């Protein structure tokens, strides 16, 4: 039986909190959503470069495999509120979707604001009360939640609380890790917080001279200290003053699970569409064209301008060597370099620059079929605050929606 008088407070107006609040209210419960920002979904607004990759078309098993740690914990959540459910949910609110590379689903409008508006409509349709305020603490009595205390001292009594305060990345959006403190004070364990989907700092100084250079069609390979391949991918990257970033680099970072104890190297294939032999033919053609020039002036057709001095520094061919004197062996060395531009990873950028937070509320202490705390009655979790994080591709928002849905169904 639905207890209509039951009072639920959801802390955090991100995708997980909005979904949880709407679902709980749709069951007839009295729901208040507390968000410290003036607007809901501040992080959601910047997702997918403002286009919001809401989910992925991949089957559920792939969703689970895209969560490198504790993926199995999400089994129930992913099967109860699936990627198809997410798509239908948004279509119901007028947000039609489209599929892009890698099965990524976006709103046809390419506007994250449409996704936020749909969630807001859902909340208002079910009369969720929205309070702009910052939760300071959750009160309990014996082993049950009793209410929340706002920063201004106001106490709001309730029967259930959903903590959906997100992780610690992009703190300017409001995700400042407050929920970890609330949960720790109530006896929960927090698995070590680390950045994931994060830019990489590189040891080699030459990367700094490439700052701002964006490379569109490259292949990346990540190797561990034993030279074993950990990950490979194809796509876009950018050089920065500290190292490298961009989509393939962020994805690569989430496969460097042991960054504190392991030495990782990244190898970039600048010409992945060409085999060594094809690249050799291409270079010979260029060398033919620039036969009267020096080596330094023979690479303009092959490489972006900024990259040429770096490649010349890294290979053994003197910059001023006349092109017609370059030997086959030297050409082979150049090919090796272009197919395998190697960099040593110094470490991750700080968590504030990470797309997601890895670590969080221990999944051992949460019931996977309800998102309820196993420690405190009436306490629930949803979204990135839980110790689950996924690769890029819409999987992280699916986690937020699926866990939010489960929490909303069981508060
Ligand atoms: C730049 C960027 C791009 C991304 N793009 C994508 C993408 O395209 N697809 C994808 O799947 N994932 C993407 N992600 C990841 C995704 O945005 C997050 O995983 C997701 O937003 C997590 O949702 P959440 O509701 O758990 O937390 P959040 O979205 O972080 O929301 C938590 C909310 O809680 C509020 N809050 C915190 N503490 C308190 C408090 N004490 N009192 C009241 N309110 C509080 C915060 O203000 C915030 O609004 C991206 C992330 C970033 C940073």
Q: Please tell me whether residue 78 adopts helix, strand or coil conformation.
A: helix
Shared domain check, 169 and 103: yes
pLDDT score recorded for residue 5: 78
Q: How many angstroms is it from 167 CA to the middle of ligand 1?
A: 7
Shared domain check, 228 and 164: no
Nearest CA to ligand 1 atom 46: 174
Q: What is the CATH number of the domain that holds 123?
A: 3.50.50.60
pLDDT score recorded for residue 4: 59
Shared domain check, 226 and 90: no
Distance between CA 146 and CA 181 in Å, rounded? 17
Nearest CA to ligand 1 atom 6: 47
Q: Is 149 in the pocket of ligand 1 (CB under 6 A)?
A: no
Q: How many CA atoms lie within 13 A of 367 on its CB side?
A: 16
Shared domain check, 209 and 153: no
The answer to whether residue 166 is domain-embedded is yes
Alpha helices, H only, 81-236 = 83-92, 112-125, 178-185
Q: Which atom of ligand 1 is nearest to the CA of 15?
A: 25
- Residue at a domain's end among 348, 378, 395: 348
- Per the CB < 8 A criterion, the answer to whether 397 and 217 are in contact is no
* Beta strand segments in 173-264, E: 190-196, 200-202, 214-223, 229-239, 243-245
The answer to whether residue 1 is domain-embedded is no
Q: Is 34 in the pocket of ligand 1 (CB under 6 A)?
A: yes
Q: Is 67 in the pocket of ligand 1 (CB under 6 A)?
A: no
If residue 50 lies in a helix (H) or strand (E), which one and from where to where?
Answer: none
- Predicted TM-score (pTM) of the model is 0.94
Q: Is 43 in the pocket of ligand 1 (CB under 6 A)?
A: yes
Distance between CA 183 and CA 374 in Å, rounded? 12
If residue 73 lies in a helix (H) or strand (E), which one and from where to where?
Answer: none
Q: How many angstroms is it from 14 CA to the middle of ligand 1?
A: 5
Q: How many angstroms is it from 301 CA to the middle of ligand 1?
A: 43
- Residue at a domain's end among 314, 348, 382: 348
Shared domain check, 405 and 329: no
Q: Is 389 in the pocket of ligand 1 (CB under 6 A)?
A: no
Distance between CA 241 and CA 249 in Å, rounded? 15
Distance between CA 115 and CA 95 in Å, rounded? 7
Shared domain check, 371 and 332: no
Q: Which domain holds residue 46?
A: 7-194+356-410
Distances (CA, A) of 158 to 231, 252, 366, 371: 47, 43, 20, 18
Nearest CA to ligand 1 atom 35: 12
Q: How many angstroms is it from 232 CA to the middle of ligand 1?
A: 27
Shared domain check, 325 and 228: yes
Nearest CA to ligand 1 atom 45: 12
The answer to whether residue 103 is domain-embedded is yes
Shared domain check, 111 and 179: yes
Number of folded domains that form the chain = 2
Shared domain check, 33 and 16: yes
**Ligand 1 pocket: which of 40, 110, 396, 406 to mutate (most atoms within 8 A of CB):** 396
The answer to whether residue 2 is domain-embedded is no
Distances (CA, A) of 381 to 119, 127, 362: 19, 22, 11
Task: Kindly give the parts of the chain with pLDDT less than 70.
Answer: 1-4
Q: Is 249 in the pocket of ligand 1 (CB under 6 A)?
A: no
Q: How many angstroms is it from 84 CA to the middle of ligand 1?
A: 21
Shared domain check, 140 and 59: yes
Q: How many CA atoms lie within 13 A of 111 on its CB side?
A: 9
Q: How many angstroms is it from 43 CA to the middle of ligand 1?
A: 5
Q: How many angstroms is it from 12 CA to the middle of ligand 1?
A: 9
The answer to whether residue 278 is domain-embedded is yes
Shared domain check, 121 and 245: no
Shared domain check, 231 and 321: yes
- Residue at a domain's end among 297, 320, 348: 348
As beta bridge partners, residue 238 has: 214, 245
Q: Which atom of ligand 1 is nearest to the CA of 134?
A: 42
Q: Is 12 in the pocket of ligand 1 (CB under 6 A)?
A: yes
CA 16 to chain CA mean position, Å: 15
pLDDT score recorded for residue 257: 85
């Amino acid at each position: 039986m639905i207890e209509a008088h039951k009072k639920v407070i959801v802390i955090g107006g991100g995708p997980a909190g909005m979904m949880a609040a709407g679902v709980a209210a749709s069951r007839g419960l009295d729901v208040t959503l507390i968000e410290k920002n003036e607007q809901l979904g501040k992080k959601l607004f910047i997702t997918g470069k403002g286009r919001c990759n809401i989910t992925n078309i991949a089957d559920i098993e792939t969703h689970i495999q895209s969560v490198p740690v504790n993926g199995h914990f999400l089994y129930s959540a992913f099967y109860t509120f699936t990627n198809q459910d997410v798509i239908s949910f948004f279509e119901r609110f007028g947000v039609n979707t489209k599929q892009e590379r890698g099965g990524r689903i976006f709103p046809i409008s390419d506007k994250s604001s449409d996704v936020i508006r749909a969630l807001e409509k859902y909340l208002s349709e079910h009369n969720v009360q929205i309070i702009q305020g910052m939760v300071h603490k959750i009160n309990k009595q014996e082993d049950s939640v009793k209410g929340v205390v706002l920063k201004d001292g106001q106490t709001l009594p309730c029967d259930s609380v959903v903590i959906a305060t997100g992780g610690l990345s992009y703190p300017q959006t409001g995700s400042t890790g407050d929920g970890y403190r609330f949960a720790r004070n109530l006896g929960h364990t927090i698995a070590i917080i680390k950045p994931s989907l994060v830019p990489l700092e590189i040891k080699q100084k030459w990367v700094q001279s490439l700052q701002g250079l964006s490379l569109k069609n490259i292949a990346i390979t990540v190797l561990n200290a034993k030279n074993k391949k950990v990950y490979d991918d194809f796509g876009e990257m950018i050089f920065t003053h500290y190292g490298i970033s961009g989509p393939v680099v962020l994805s690569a970072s989430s496969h460097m699970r042991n960054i504190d104890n392991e030495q990782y190297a990244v190898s970039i294939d600048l010409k992945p569409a060409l085999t060594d032999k094809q690249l050799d033919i291409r270079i010979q053609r260029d060398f033919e064209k620039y036969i009267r020039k020096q080596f330094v002036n023979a690479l303009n057709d092959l490489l972006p301008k900024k990259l040429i001095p770096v490649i010349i520094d890294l290979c053994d061919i003197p910059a001023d060597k006349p092109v017609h004197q370059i030997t086959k062996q030297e050409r082979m060395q150049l090919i090796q370099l272009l197919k395998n531009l190697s960099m040593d990873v110094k470490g991750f950028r700080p968590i504030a620059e990470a797309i997601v937070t890895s670590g969080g509320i221990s999944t051992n202490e949460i019931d996977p079929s309800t998102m309820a705390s196993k420690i405190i009655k009436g306490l629930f979790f949803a979204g990135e605050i839980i110790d689950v994080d996924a690769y890029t591709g819409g999987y992280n928002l699916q986690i937020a929606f699926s866990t939010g849905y489960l929490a909303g169904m069981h508060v």
